[in-house]
Structure 1
């Protein structure tokens, strides 16, 4: 989703943001990481899953928005969003945090390729080189989101330690072939039900129980992605005759 990260400190003297009305920028993202506090609302609207971070070999929690790479089924060709909840990362785009290593505070950055941040943006970020109040509000929201993601990762780790995480391979039939997203993990309901005493307490303290129940409930939303896939396929199919 992010292509060209530009720290706000390197921008020009006057800069503003013009948020797009739709979510065309997310068309190529089939999943997005979410925080622990988002899980309950997100679980009512879309499938949630755990995925392995390739660098850290640790689980992250994601909202699943498509079944094939680079194809978001919750955003149509006009950029309209088709789900009852919008993950924080999408609501805060094109902004992110940059730096923050070696004890330094992270600074506000944006995706320069988004086209949303420019001199003519109506919501001012910089006036004559000086930040308005908007950058500080965005930094606060982004920091909170990152902390929430860390809480979700801790919850996911507690589920892994408890031995209740396993591969999840849901599938959709399209043109007689099975289409399935890759690399998803979910909660083993039977294994979870078998836990007792201290392990359950540890899961509860780490947020693992909340995440487990949200993920299990969210599995019921996978057929919704199937319907979206069939709708998208039907719209893309050329008409053979005039109605």
Structure 2
């Protein structure tokens, strides 16, 4: 997605402007997009929500499936328009992002993609005023990215809780598009049976942590995998390969 991500600098970027996103072609090569717990309810109406394991960090993270093959985004049409009413926040934040100031630092800085098609010196809203101070655009970006960072922290706690209580299960689902079946593997889902067999005390803890709604949103969203298969079939690519990881 990012071509040249650099820290936002009032001197180097004094003349830059940003245009509103009018096409999502920059996300055409992504078949997954990271998601935060706060997005589950809206995202579940359009996308399958699953979890990926980062074995090096020994943690899980939620994502939405945008395609059934690597490098395939079935939610984009030929004009670069998004084919769902809700666009994940990580896509909407482009061309901006937060980066840590050092490996273990708790401080972050706003970065932008200098080579983005939405960044230029001619059209759009200025990032800095004539006196060098950040404009309202930059302040809004800071606020938005800061909120995303807080949501990400809550999401990490949510995933840690599920993992700690052994509620993840590998997904192995078969879908049909064209004339063949396709196995969807390589990701994890909440084990519904284990969830219902939790003790009353633990179930109440889940309720108090406000985890119940996103858990059920995730489980409901899994039927959207069939929607991806329909999108795939409509795209004309009806010859799926053997089973492959998400």
Structure 1's unaligned 5+ residue stretches are: 236-243
Structure with greater helix percent: 1
Structure 1 residue 179, shift from structure 2 partner: 3.2
Partner of 2:230: 227
Q: Residue 57 of structure 2 aligns to a residue in which SS?
A: coil
Partner of 2:124: 122
The CA distance in 1 between the partners of 2:45 and 2:71, in whole Å, is 23
TM alignment of 1:187-226, pairs within 5 A: 187-226=190-229
Which of the numbers 144, 148, 151 marks the counterpart of 1:145? 148
Structure 1 stretch displaced more, 97-106 or 162-171: 97-106
Structure 1 residue 55, shift from structure 2 partner: 3.5
TM alignment of 1:78-89, pairs within 5 A: 78-89=79-90
Which of the numbers 96, 109, 123 marks the counterpart of 1:107? 109
Partner of 2:136: 133
Structure 1 residue 54, shift from structure 2 partner: 4.4
Q: Residues 2 and 53 from structure 1, CA distance in 2 versus in 1: closer, same or farther, beyond 3 angstroms?
A: farther
The CA distance in 2 between the partners of 1:114 and 1:180, in whole Å, is 36
- 1:206-240 deviation line (CA, Å, top 9, x unaligned): 443223211100011111111111111269xxxxx
Extract structure 1 runs of 4+ deviating beyond 4 A: none
Structure 1 residue 89, shift from structure 2 partner: 1.2
CA contact (8 A) 1:18 1:121 kept: yes
CA contact (8 A) 2:171 2:184 kept: no
With structure 2 as the length reference, what TM-score do the two structures score? Answer: 0.87
TM alignment of 1:29-178, pairs within 5 A: 29-101=30-102, 103=105, 105-128=107-130, 129-178=132-181
Q: Residue 181 of structure 2 aligns to a residue in which SS?
A: strand
Q: Residue 222 of structure 2 aligns to a residue in which SS?
A: helix
- Tell me, yes or no, if structure 1 residue 184 matches structure 2 residue 187: yes
- Tell me, yes or no, if structure 1 residue 2 matches structure 2 residue 20: no
The CA distance in 1 between the partners of 2:152 and 2:184, in whole Å, is 22
Q: Residue 78 of structure 1 aligns to a residue in which SS?
A: coil
CA contact (8 A) 1:68 1:180 kept: no
Equivalent residues, number: 235
Q: Pairwise CA RMSD of aligned residues?
A: 2.1
The CA distance in 2 between the partners of 1:66 and 1:180, in whole Å, is 13
With structure 1 as the length reference, what TM-score do the two structures score? Answer: 0.88
The CA distance in 2 between the partners of 1:54 and 1:137, in whole Å, is 35
Structure 1 residue 180, shift from structure 2 partner: 4.0
- Tell me, yes or no, if structure 1 residue 13 matches structure 2 residue 19: no
Structure 1 residue 104, shift from structure 2 partner: 6.5
Q: Residue 223 of structure 2 aligns to a residue in which SS?
A: helix
The CA distance in 2 between the partners of 1:12 and 1:110, in whole Å, is 10
- 1:10-39 deviation line (CA, Å, top 9, x unaligned): 633211101231211111111111111111
